[in-house]
Amino acid sequence: MVDNVVMRLKIVQAGEPVLRASSRPLSADEIRMPAMQDLLTHMRDTMRDAPGVGIAAPQVGLGIQLAVIEDRADYLAGIKPELLAERERAPIEYFVLFNPRIVAYSEEATDFFEGCLSVAGFSALVRRSRRVTVEYLNERAEPQRLEASGWFARILQHEIDHLNGRLYIDLMETRTFSSMDNIARHWKDFSILELRDKLGIADHSQEPG
């Protein structure tokens, strides 16, 4: 018997039609099906194995309104405290969202680098609302509502975009698009304001999202 077997699903890449289509909502009965609970396990394993802080069903080829999120403490190791503070980033325990929708956005916006498991190997600066309110169903099809800010709000917006056929590259500051290797080599230790200054990009961080 083999313990802790990772059930990794195939992550589709930009250009697959499923990433550009609106996903369908799920009924409470569908959410509670054993097969759906198995899918959640496989998506969690795939996210952790990648590794990533979230994954949406379209990224594994399924056009349904489902995403899982987790930002583990070990992912934050090695990031300078001042950069964690700038990003408002803290660990997020694993959780599931079915049929999520953002019901409120803050006018205040922030700009940070985002990557995506479906645009593998690249990242760019993306402006998003600093705070959001999200309504969704959990894995038992129970209605939930949460308010998030900082990095957590960014992850939610990124994953919910996937369910509406949008990728971060649709929103990115194009001059900042870079390979992950080059970000690590040249840009990772700069604040966002320093980065904008070096690349000659105007600061839009206080404009509405």
Structure-block tokens of residue 66: 């489902």
> Which position among 30, 159, 173, 194 bears the catalytic label?
159
Q: Which of 17, 46, 11, 20 is nearest to 169 (CA)?
A: 20
Instruction: List CB contacts of 19: < 8 A, sequence separation 6 or more.
Output: 12, 58, 59, 118, 162, 165, 167
Return the H-helix or E-strand segment holding 69.
strand 66-71
| b/e burial code for range 188-208 (CB count within 10 A of at least 16 → b) | eeeebeebbeeeebeeeeeee
Structure-block tokens of residue 94: 């694993």
Contact present, 59 and 12 (Cβ < 8 Å): yes
Residue carrying the six token digits 């590259």 = 169
Is-catalytic flag, 159?
yes
Q: How far is CA 24 from the centre of its chain?
A: 19
Q: Which residues are catalytic?
A: 159
